[in-house]
Structures are given as structure tokens and as C-alpha cells.
Amino acid sequence: MNNITPLINETLSREMQSTLFLLSSYAHRYSFTVYAAGDFVRNLLQGKENHYINLVVENFAIDYARKLTELFPGKIHCCDRIGTARLVTAKGVILDMVTAKDEFSPFSSNSNASAKEEKASLKRSLYNRDFTINAIACSLNRDEYGRLYDFFGGLQDLRQREIRVFNKLSFVNDPLLLLRALLLAQKLSFKLEGETFSLLQSACKNHQLRKISKEKLYREIGQIFNSKYPSKILKQLHSLGVLSFIFPRVIFDRDMINNIGRLETLLLDNYWINKRNDLHLFVVYLSLIMQNLSEHDRKYLLYLLRLRKLERQKIVTVLDSLPRIITQITAPEISEADLNSHLKILPREGFPLVEAVSCSSIASRRIKRYLEHLDDIKQ
């Protein structure tokens, strides 16, 4: 597969086809060399449309981004120091642009690249990505529009449904890749390539996650809880021996895993699936994970998590009120006034947790009735 123009025309909506054409047109007009890469190309090769386009730009990405505002009015943010720009168009398309790299790492096992070879700057830039399947690029330049560039075997890994890192030091140089590999594997229903999994196990055994700042670590953990099936990744982290470091003093026994699985299933049912975007899912799951901790241990974990003040307040409110609310709303009889009185102090994130922990159909019905009443008032 050398050129994917037919795939672009078959897979993408006319609006997205037009967006790519305009990106190409402006690149030609102002003498930029531009490639789409990352998630956008990977999804395209899987027959999926994506409104997030990652671009590698030769001749300075920020200049190209500013030119694009003539075509795509929207919000632009630039970082001159590292030569990156993000443009969010009025129609919601996100264009993330990075300036092509000038240096190349010598550790690639799949490449004998030199600075003199054709497309060297593109190759250098793609080598700096996380996994081979995210290092496939598609030219948006007029003379080779749609041409595919795959320097590191990403296309074969995509076909074999495997996640592969670039070299033996990937998890050492960036331990966050450990979490991203597990998350991406679950998201795509892929597996970790054999050597990659061995390297990941070694990174866990050698405590590489301890090198990461708490802010970065828990920001990445939050992404896990935004996925559909966080319990699968938590089980993997547990088997790898790092879950106790991520959540110190939390006991991930069978009851905890079952509760997480029940909450996970609940959040995907017909009622809650449409309300997920209104919830801070990290807060929901953290409240569940922390419910059996002592007050001292809760404060310690909340300190480690580096959450914002509102997020901490929600968790504390949920944990303080959860036992009492479960007892009250599972009672055989309760008036509407009392129901409203008990539930009005509970943050939205607490409602699915009450359902999951109580295992009560009565509680579920009363919660839904209360939330529907609130929705009617808002309307």
C-alpha cells in the first residue's frame, strides 16, 4: 500500500476530505511540506474517521498554523520554544502541528537512517513517537498526495494488531509509555508485541514509574479511568506489581475488583452511557477505590493525587455521605421530600457509585427518579 488516496475518499466524510485538500493547498501555496501522522493515519488505515489531525510540518509549524487561520477561523495556541501549534477550528476539528525534527536517535532497531537520506526530517520526527503504529505518515503535499510513509514497520504491526515500542530503552526514557501501552492495547483490542511486553515487565520490576512526577503519573492514570474497561488495566497493573505504588494502602482484593467491575458495567448501561460526559470519571472511580481507607490514608492519597480543589471536595463529600445515603435510600419506605433531602448534597459523581455499591434495584429506581426530576427542572 503505497498511496491511500482511495482510502481517504472512501472513509472520510466530504467535510474531512475538504479539510485535507485545503491543508494541502495552503502547504503548496506557502511552500510548506506537510504530513498527517499519528492517530489520524492509524484510524484511517482501520477505516475510521477522526477529527483530530496530527501534522508534521517542515519549515516551522507555527508559521503554517498562522497561515491556516485564514482558512479555518478558530482558537490557536503556539509554543515558539518547541515549534508546536494547535488550531481548533470553529467546526471542532483539532489540528496539532509539530515542526519536523533535525536530530535522529541512534537506538532504532529497524532503521539505518542518516541525515542525508530522503525524508530524513520526517523519519526523525516519527521516531520520536510512542509506538510504531502511531509512526505512520501520509503526505498531504501536492506532488505525492496520499503517499504512505512507514519507516518502522508500523503497518505490519497494525495488521498483526500489536503494540510495539521503538527500542529497548523506550520505557526507561519515558516510563509513562508503560501506562499508555496498556491503555492503547485495551482501546484497540490489540496485544503487546512479545519483546515490548518483556520490556514493560522489566520496567515495572525496576520501578521506572517512580521516576515520574506525581502530576504526570496521575494525569495518565486518569486517562485509564476514562476508558470503557478500566478494570482490565487495573488487573494488569496489579499482576505487574505496580498498583500498590500507584494507590498506596488500597487493598485490591476480590471484593474491590468486583465492585470496580460492577461500576464499570453500570456506567456502560443504557441510562448512564449518555451521562458519562457529564461525570468526572476519575472522581467516580477514586471514590470507590478509597471508600474503605481510614481518614488518614484518604488524606494521604488525596495529597499524592494532586487533584484540583473541586475534585477533592467531591470525593470527600461522596465518601462522607455514602454509607448514610445507602442506608436511607434502600429503606422500604421513603417520602419524596426525604429522598430529595438525602440526595441533594451528593455530587453527580456519587450517584452511579451508590447504585454500584448498594446492589439495590430500589436504590437504582430512586436515584433515576431523582435525577430525572432534576433534569425536568433544568428544562
For the chain, give the percent of residues with pLDDT over 70. Answer: 94
Mean pLDDT of all residues in the chain?
90
Average pLDDT over residues 78-106: 84
Tell me the pairing of strands 191-192 and 162-163: parallel
Please name the helix (run of DSSP H) or strand (run of DSSP E) that holds residue 33, with its range, or none: strand 33-37
Identify the residue whose cell numbers are 502530576. Answer: 215
With beta carbons less than 8 A apart as the criterion, state whether 162 and 191 touch. Answer: yes
Which domains are delineated in the chain? 5-157 (3.30.460.10), 161-227 (1.10.110.30), 247-378 (1.20.58.1960)
Q: Are 100 and 113 in contact (CB under 8 A)?
A: no
CA distance 270 to 53: 31
**Residues in a beta bridge with 99:** 57
Scanning the chain, the segments in alpha helix (DSSP H) are 5-11, 14-29, 39-45, 61-68, 120-127, 154-159, 170-173, 176-188, 194-205, 214-225, 230-239, 243-246, 254-266, 281-289, 295-305, 309-329, 336-343, 350-358, 361-378
User: Quick check: 209 pLDDT over 70?
Assistant: yes
- Give 196-207 pLDDT, tens digit per residue: 999 999 999 999
Residues 40-74 pLDDT 10s? 999 999 999 999 999 999 988 999 999 999 999 99
Number of CB atoms found within 10 A of residue 207's CB: 12
- What's the pLDDT at 102? 64
| pLDDT for position 374 | 66
Of residues 107, 26, 25, 23, the one with CA closest to residue 37: 23
pLDDT at 371: 87
pLDDT tens digits, one per residue of 291-320: 999 999 999 999 999 899 999 999 999 999
Q: Is 187 helix (H, G, I), strand (E, B) or coil?
A: helix
Rounded CA separation 369/240 (Å): 42
Give the CA dihedral 165, 170, 171, 174, nearest 10 degrees.
Answer: -120
pTM flag (> 0.85):
yes
pLDDT at 108 over 90: no
What is the C-alpha to C-alpha distance for residues 333 and 355, in angstroms, rounded to an integer? 17
Residue 104 has pLDDT above 60, yes or no: no
Number of residues written out for the chain: 379
Q: List pLDDT tens digits, range 360-378.
A: 899 999 998 888 876 555 4
pLDDT in tens, 159-175: 999 999 999 999 999 99
